[in-house]
Structure 1
């Protein structure tokens, strides 16, 4: 069985191989519309669960606004993939590629597809053609609504995408996700609570920036966008990163480098709601979560500016050991006999990696976003070491 062989290879290389379970959508109507009826949700579940058993890294890809898609159908797909145990869920807008059936006028009319245009990230610049200077950018067409998905629902789905990207992907808050799984609760329900909650004032600039950019990056008129790109100085705005960024990625970078402690507070408040709904909250659990969130804040601190600093704090739980433990070991077993002080350090390899990339790109927000597009953020997280000892 090919799937079993791939899983065995992933086990042997200890998670170095990433397994994909890309589905685009799991809604039967959508799959029929895009002529992709060979996807089986149960097979997806089996892959995700078996991959987790062997410690494989997994990801899935989902596309918003496919023909027949709706906010309900899209959320259902995200929920199913999340519950299947995939480590990362990459969420995309629907790009209409020239020459494909979906880009035809007939398909657009049939599904009442409304589209917009944008410059493709990193596909622009100054060129020379037959000796003449040319300013050019590759422009793509994006679907923002259809007969079953309103534009406002599209924006709501994009907000969900940002929350999944920040709070679920890459294990930025992996302790909370592990607690949710161990207690038999729904990770998707936590993301749903985040989506339904009012954004805290401290995080408002981040989420408002994302929504504004989501609206303003798209043009209704392709020729107008082409003319804008050709105007003097505008292509430089794309080159410098002022325009044309991957919005999910650039805002995740802002979240990690500027808003991490505020994200942790938002995570705590919404986790409290999730646990209260399930009637399984307790003072001990909240104390553990507070320590876990502080742990995550400290390991993500001073990654690019002030890297010579060594944050430290006293903990009652061994969070690092909890994260490395088997899934069936509860957080209670990691209570330390006495409080211990931990230092959060970067090792020599991390320092060299950070300094090399800063030397190439710089330390501006755009520069850091470019660095994180090339270096997995978890590779940069600080290590917790017991004060007065070597690295754990």
Structure 2
């Protein structure tokens, strides 16, 4: 896998995206693993699967690049004027009209069109190993100029088609038309179960590298994030009632905060987001509250992190958590404080 070209994976992505059959997509993915990943080599599997399921990869931190920031970095990496038509297409990618073209609302496709005029279609021979190394650097770099420099390297080593998929990986949305459940199942029958209780994609790839060996069901472990249960999205209220089959239900208020998972292991308190990321910034504002009020020694709590405004006697507006967490860390007095509404 270390010498496998990223262009091979791009071919897989293109093929999976075009195919309408879920079973064919799965078999194509299985063939890719069997052909390009060395048997019993967890690193090979992880190198590939982390690119296919980028939203589940905890080893690599956040890129800090949503579409608008990514657009400005690409503009700088390509040496374009901010006022040029292509720059405006990238910056205003959501808008329709003649400037946006047929791909309005799809940033990666607009970027691919802009890049194609400057890159061409000849691959630069970037390997999967090199791509992962560059993406690691992109995630760890803290300022925009460094990120722009890394994107310049990627542009030099790829063609427009490859960059389109790299942008999708950065945005963590590949649109392959295949569920992560199917990806997990094709990799190993026990992969999804193990991921649900560990939220560790690398561990899954290392432990389950032999598909013929079944894995003993693993218990939840305090201190390691667990995949939270999420509500099923339906189109409207009528569809929701239909799903309930006429049963009696209890409806509770939807608190508009951040989904949080709190792990209490003795004196140690950990906070994890719904995306399994550790949030140590909540420790100063919430750990003592948890220790005082949750008397059991070891437990996992699931709830919603919000800010309570004592002066207004109500919850603060959405998006206040980080600000108040920072104030608590700095020891600043405030009528606003973090609180957690637990799910029972």
State whether TM-score is above 0.5. Answer: no
Say which structure is richer in helix: 1
Say which structure is richer in strand: 1
TM-score, length basis structure 1: 0.26
TM-score, length basis structure 2: 0.28
